[in-house]
Amino acid sequence: MLLVLYLAVLIAGCGESGPPLTATGVVAFAPLPGSEVSAAYLTLHNHSQEALTIQQVSSPEFAKVEIHESMTVDDVIRMRRLDSLTLDAGTSMQFVSGGKHLMLIEPVSELAPGKSVALQFEYNAGGVLIVSTQLKTRM
Amino acid sequence: MSQPRNNFSFILIAIALIGGGWFFMRAYTGPVARPAYATVLPSPMVLPDFTLNDHNGSTFTRESLKGSWSLLFFGFTHCPDICPATMQSLAVAREKLAAQGRAAATLPRIILISVDPERDDAEVLKSYVSNFGQDIIGLTGDLSELQKLTKRLGIYFAKSPADDGGYNVDHSAAVLVINPSAEFHALFSAPQRVEKLLHDWPLILVGSPASR
């Protein structure tokens, strides 16, 4: 069962009504043996009245986390890295297979399914969202 | 006064007979079921000769495809998103087809052909394909041999430089159905879903000796 914990939310300009950026439906897959990469999917919600730009995503369990987008055009898949991502005020953005996703690159240690990993999103000036989830297996 | 009534009765009986006949024909012959998602080639296409290596280091050629139905997917192990999702869908679909009690000869072999031979050697592929089941085959080989196959099948792949000096590989997302005569028989376009394959697989096999 997926366990998602919101570990910390440090926000710039946070109102009393709650954090401006939250995440739901976080799913991260353990890297397959033979592969140094994996993917994570989730939905980000911007509850604030301003646009939020995610400048960086990182994880203590991976050397690098990148925001990628897969596009299938004429039955050809192309994947590109996105430098940043902006959520307009009051909107949500889905990270799904075949679309935007987080590419988890080079695990720093052996990561088996079930192990907990954290993802840290840095946005605007000093805003941070950290979520954790247990790695799932593909099969 | 009785003539119009007789005519009306005649028309009613005629309608009943025609309708009954139509219903009878539909009930006994049924509509012709066709694949809803896959594109079946009007006439299967013979594959070109090629020589690749499987994940055990053994030679794999067109002849190796004979005798079984196969699902070919062109991908690579450094692909974090679509490739593992596609392999997962194919493997799960095959498991479900087997669980339906279908004859082993009608179950497809799942074959990943790496379009990234620089990084995907036999050892890497062996480790990778084993994640999706025992019978999955991984193939790799020289670029020129790979292109013999992909050009004929209309499969696209190309390296795409990444900002960090590395690269991704853009590639076709289709899954190709190869029949037991080693012919290109049908194609599933992306996105690959378990339900699509489960629905269409028996219909693709209709008329084939292997399906009986």
Please give the ipTM for the structure prediction: 0.81
Q: Tell me the C-alpha distance between A86 and A72, whole Å.
A: 22
Nearest-CB residue to B132 (from A80, A104, A139): A139
Q: In one letter, which amino acid is B121?
A: D
> What average pLDDT does range A40-61 have in this prediction?
97
Sequential DSSP letters for B112-166: EEES-TTT--HHHHHHHHGGG-TT-EEEE--HHHHHHHHHHHT--EEEEE-TTS-
Cβ-defined contact of A78 to B173 (cutoff 8 Å): no
Pairing of strands A127-134, B39-46: unpaired
Q: Do B172 and B188 touch, CB atoms closer than 8 A?
A: no
Question: What distance in Å separates residue A70's CA from the closest CA in chain B?
Answer: 8
What's residue A39's pLDDT? 97
Q: Does B91 contact chain A (CB < 8 Å)?
A: yes
Tens digit of each residue's pLDDT (9 = 90 or more) over B90-100 = 999 999 999 99
Cβ neighbours of B130 in A, within 8 Å? 33-34
Who has greater pLDDT, A8 or B36?
A: B36
Percentage of residues in chain A having pLDDT higher than 70: 88
> For residues B34 and A67, which has the higher predicted lDDT (pLDDT)?
A67
- Chain A nearest-CA residue for B192: A98
Q: CA nearest A22: which of A128, A135, A114? A: A128
Angle at Cα B63 formed by Cα B59 and Cα B64, nearest 5°? Answer: 55
Q: Which of A35, A78, A138 to mutate: most B Cβ within 10 Å?
A: A35
Residues B106-141 pLDDT 10s: 999 999 999 999 999 999 999 999 999 988 999 999
CA nearest to B53, candidates B163, B134, B139: B139
Beta carbons of B189 and A98 less than 8 Å apart: no
pTM of the model: 0.83
Distance from CA of B163 to the nearest CA of A (A): 8
At A40 the pLDDT is: 98
pLDDT surpasses 90 at A116:
yes
pLDDT at res. A138: 87
